[in-house]
Amino acid sequence: MARYFAIFLTFARACLVRDMTFRANFILECLTSLGWMSMNLAFYLLVFTFTSEIGKGTGWSKEPFFAFVATGLIINSVVQAFFMPSAEELTEMVRTGGLDAVLVQPLDAQFLLSMHRVDFSALANGAVGVGLLAWAMARMDHAPPALAWLLYPLLLLCGVAILYGLVIMLAAATILMGRNQSLYDFWFYITNFSRYPAEIYSGPWGGPLRMICTFVIPILLVVNVPARVIAQPFTGELWIGVACAVIAAAVALVVSRLVFQRALARYRSASS
């Protein structure tokens, strides 16, 4: 484990050196990323000029909702920084046979393929997320108990683990299919469902959708559970959500590992 951590630090250092070599580009990437996020925040501010909360009686008024958004920013920035850049390269590696070079390395292939590239500019959104969270928490009616603050980092990790599992399963699909650009688009579209509180998915269509996005593809647990722990009154019901998030994270990691191993076993080299 220590060896893998040291190798990961070497990868991260190399990526940081590369980013700092093209500093202007790095700053520009941070700014564009922040621009996109600011636009979304402006949209939410606009929505709150017409309503006091998202969903009647849900408790997602302005400050709790922005704590929710901040939680999403933090989790997504970690995934975008540490896992997505490597996963995005996999499509080309499979198509061109570059994956062969990875498989002959004396290291775990999943580790190498999912963590060899780090995009530090993606962490800019996470930093703003932390600031936004502080802003929202300072303005909320109730202060979360100490237990909520203890659970919060654990649940953030669970959220990251669920998304990581999804990334790995899409990577496995890449290996099986040879090329899956549409499936990576699918990643962005499916994670879109996690951007809003689960309560908005109600009614004859919303209810089943909520069940699917909670128990089949547990995307709704990613942001909802940690955000709810700190932004909503801490009640006994929250423990069910916490348990679901922890189980979903463990299952995502195990299942994605199995799927990835099976995909690798069926891999046929594309190189000569």
Partner 1 sequence: MSGSLEAVRPAGPLQGLRTWWTMLKICLEERLVYRGDFALGTLMRFLPIVTQVFLWTAVFGATSRGDIAGYTRNDIVAYYLLTMLTRAFSSMPGLAAGIARSVRDGSVKKFLIQPVDYVSFLLAARVAHKLVYYAVAAIPFALVFFVCRSYFPPVPDATTIAAFLLSLALSFLLGFFMEVTLGMLGFWFMEVSSIVFGYMLVQYLLSGHMFPIDLLKGTPTGIAGVSLADVVHWLPFEYTAYFSSAVWLGKVKGAQLVSSLAIEAGWVVVMAVACRVAWWRGTRRYSAFGG
- Write out the residues near partner 1 by the rule CB under 8 A: 25, 28, 32, 35-36, 39, 42-43, 46-47, 49-56, 58, 181-182, 185-186, 189-190, 192-193, 195-196, 199-203, 206, 209
Shortest distance in whole angstroms from residue 101 CB to partner 1: 27
The type of residue at 98 is: G
CA distance 183 to 51: 36
For residues 109 and 190, which CB has a smaller minimum distance to partner 1 in the complex? 190
For residues 8 and 186, which CB has a smaller minimum distance to partner 1 in the complex? 186
Please classify residue 69 by burial: count the beta carbons closer than 10 Å to its beta carbon, then call 0-12 exposed, 13-18 middle and 19+ buried: buried
CA distance 29 to 27: 5
Q: Do the beta carbons of residue 260 and residue 92 sit within 8 Å?
A: no
Q: Do the beta carbons of residue 246 and residue 156 sit within 8 Å?
A: no
Long-range contacts of 140-145 (CB under 8 A, 24+ apart): 140/63, 140/64, 140/67, 140/231, 142/233, 144/229, 144/230, 144/231, 144/234, 145/234
The type of residue at 67 is: A
For residues 58 and 110, which CB has a smaller minimum distance to partner 1 in the complex? 58
Shortest distance in whole angstroms from residue 249 CB to partner 1: 23
The type of residue at 240 is: I
Shortest distance in whole angstroms from residue 20 CB to partner 1: 18
For residues 206 and 233, which CB has a smaller minimum distance to partner 1 in the complex? 206
Shortest distance in whole angstroms from residue 60 CB to partner 1: 8
CA distance 47 to 26: 32
For residues 179 and 262, which CB has a smaller minimum distance to partner 1 in the complex? 179
Shortest distance in whole angstroms from residue 250 CB to partner 1: 27
For residues 51 and 96, which CB has a smaller minimum distance to partner 1 in the complex? 51
Shortest distance in whole angstroms from residue 266 CB to partner 1: 22
